[in-house]
Amino acid sequence: MSYLGVTTSLTGRCWLGPGSEIERQSEALAQETALPLPLALVLARRGIAAPEAESFLAPQLRTLLPDPHRLRDMEPATARFLRAVHARERIAIFADYDVDGGASAALLICWLRDMGSDATLYVPDRIDEGYGPNVPAMEALARAHDLIVCVDCGTLSHEPIAAAAPTDVIVLDHHLGGETLPPALAVVNPNRQDEDGELGHLCAAGVVFLMLVEANRQLKAGGAQGPDLMALLDLVALATVADVAPLTGVNRAFVRQGLAVMARRARPGLVALADIARLDEPPAAYHLGFVFGPRINAGGRIGAADLGARLLATANEAEAAALAERLDGLNKDRREIEAAVRAAAMEQAEARGLDAPLVWAAGDGWHPGVVGIVASRLKEATNRPAIVIGLDGDEGKGSGRSVSGIDLGAQIQKLAAEGLLLKGGGHRMAAGLTVARDKLEPAMDRLAELLAKQGADRLGAADLRLDGTLMPGAADVEMIARIESAGPFGSGAPAPRFAFPDCRILSTRRVGDSHLKLRFGDGLGATLDAIAFSAFDTPLGAALLEHGGARFHLAGRLEVNVWNGRRTPQLRLEDAARAES
């Protein structure tokens, strides 16, 4: 049943509210705990009962951290890693080129540095080498090192890992595993086929952190002191958010406590990033995903692949400032490249039809570093799984993004097993692939067929789920802080959204090409500022700009706007619908 009677909003969505049962539970929760009703609504919707509320609002890592031994191969991986440290063996870290890979590598580098050891960092070039270990790189590393640790990659790299013999290889990964494992000494991965999947929500940095927890335990058992692991949680938090891992269970504690570490501004690389982005407040989960993440990723997308990992690992402030400036420049270049590819991909996808079970596009010369971002944009615009492929010669390299309920990674892996892809893998929500040009069409047709079996062809416009209603006068800075205590919010834990019913638009102002600033009120004197990003890319912008005095239901996420040191409440407006006369 629609909420506030909104079956088709200005953006074409149906609004869904909490329902009468959730409303009853939230009222009881508010009475038992003395929590404000808006926060109680958020907790009730997440299934939190009164006895659990206090611990949920203050998650403790010590109670949520799983035993590292729950993961297969953890014991041999940790023992071999510590043996290399104690014997001063030569260690190489082979890392993926995204934020998770860079943060995972930085975790190991920083831990080793505190132990008086160092390691060689190797990050493959996205264009020349592609994702994951390759035979030439592994052979070269093996000749000069006694141990190779692959982070955020390696689970499907049978031939490259075999090429490293007789050098030992440890894999610390989270990508979906195949029926057989590569010939590594240890493969620690919660998404191996023989794992129970209970820790499958961890990103690679979370897996690395668990190994370091076990390493510190073994050091303590031997009478030695390991490095301060709590100081490394900023890296785990960054990777967890940037890799869109679900913010549930221990991941939620990782991010909450990692943000607290980040606020102390102790890591030169993250301080330099915050400064160059002109971030004048302690970082929140949003900043990890949309301010830090794109800049760190820019090196792997269109620049030197190891820049992000080097930035996160450095202890030198001058080096950090130089690396952050370089990454910021690359990120600006990336935006321009992305815009051109996105326009061409959307035109192509529209010609094929946006209501198919798979939305896809492929083009010659499309930069491999931006196809994943463009796939995300297509997915967001259509609420369909999306694939975008850059073609070069006889091959194409692409990335895919999925929607809730559709497992893209497993289907990509199935296509690779069927021979329709040269290479492919990933997880439920994101995947990468390499395809021969002459198999592009049949591969995409087959993928669409597989996704249709999961219901991807029956998806409509994404409904807007709301946690309840508020009036402008209730949305003050203190209330927003109370609601934020249920966070952090992100994948698997969507930010609370509230509707402000029957409001009048008091003022509007276009900002840039596509954004809209406005102020609205309830007619009783209370007002609230709002901003709608990319409003003019949909009917939302024009309808509100030319409101003609009409009343609207307005919906979105509450946030605190910081400007010149002043903190004010603001609605990040996502949707609106005309109120009934």
Q: What is the CA radius of gyration of the chain?
A: 24
- DSSP-derived letter for residue 290 is I
Average pLDDT for 28-34: 96
In the predicted structure, residue 506 carries a pLDDT above the cut 90: yes
Interatomic CA distance for residues 298 and 402, integer angstroms? 22
* Residue 299, both tokens: 């090196």
Average pLDDT for 83-101: 97
In the predicted structure, residue 537 carries a pLDDT above the cut 90: no
E strands present in 20-130: 91-95, 120-122
Interatomic CA distance for residues 349 and 385, integer angstroms? 12
pLDDT in tens, 322-360: 999 999 999 999 999 999 999 999 999 999 988 899 999
State percent of the chain over pLDDT 90.
90
Residue with structure tokens 């993004």?
Answer: 401
**Is the distance from CB of 396 to CB of 390 less than 8 angstroms?**
yes
Interatomic CA distance for residues 522 and 471, integer angstroms? 7
Whether the bond into 166 is cis, omega within 30 of 0: yes
The pLDDT, as a whole number, for residue 427 is 82
Average pLDDT for 159-179: 96
pLDDT in tens, 362-411: 999 999 999 999 999 999 888 899 999 999 999 999 999 999 889 999 99
The pLDDT, as a whole number, for residue 457 is 82
Confidence band for 86, pLDDT divided at 50, 70 and 90: very high
In the predicted structure, residue 425 carries a pLDDT above the cut 90: no
The pLDDT, as a whole number, for residue 492 is 86
Confidence band for 550, pLDDT divided at 50, 70 and 90: very high
| Mean pLDDT of the chain, nearest integer | 95
**Is the distance from CB of 53 to CB of 237 less than 8 angstroms?**
no
Closest by Cα among 287, 105, 114 to 204: 105
Closest by Cα among 173, 206, 166 to 94: 173
CB atoms within 10 A of CB 141: 23
In the predicted structure, residue 580 carries a pLDDT above the cut 80: no
Interatomic CA distance for residues 357 and 473, integer angstroms? 44
User: What are the residues facing 94 on neighbouring strands?
Assistant: 122, 150
Q: What pTM did the predictor assign?
A: 0.91
Interatomic CA distance for residues 409 and 485, integer angstroms? 33
pLDDT in tens, 184-196: 999 999 999 999 9
The pLDDT, as a whole number, for residue 194 is 97
E strands present in 462-541: 464-465, 468-469, 498-511, 515-521, 527-532
Closest by Cα among 216, 152, 146, 231 to 188: 152
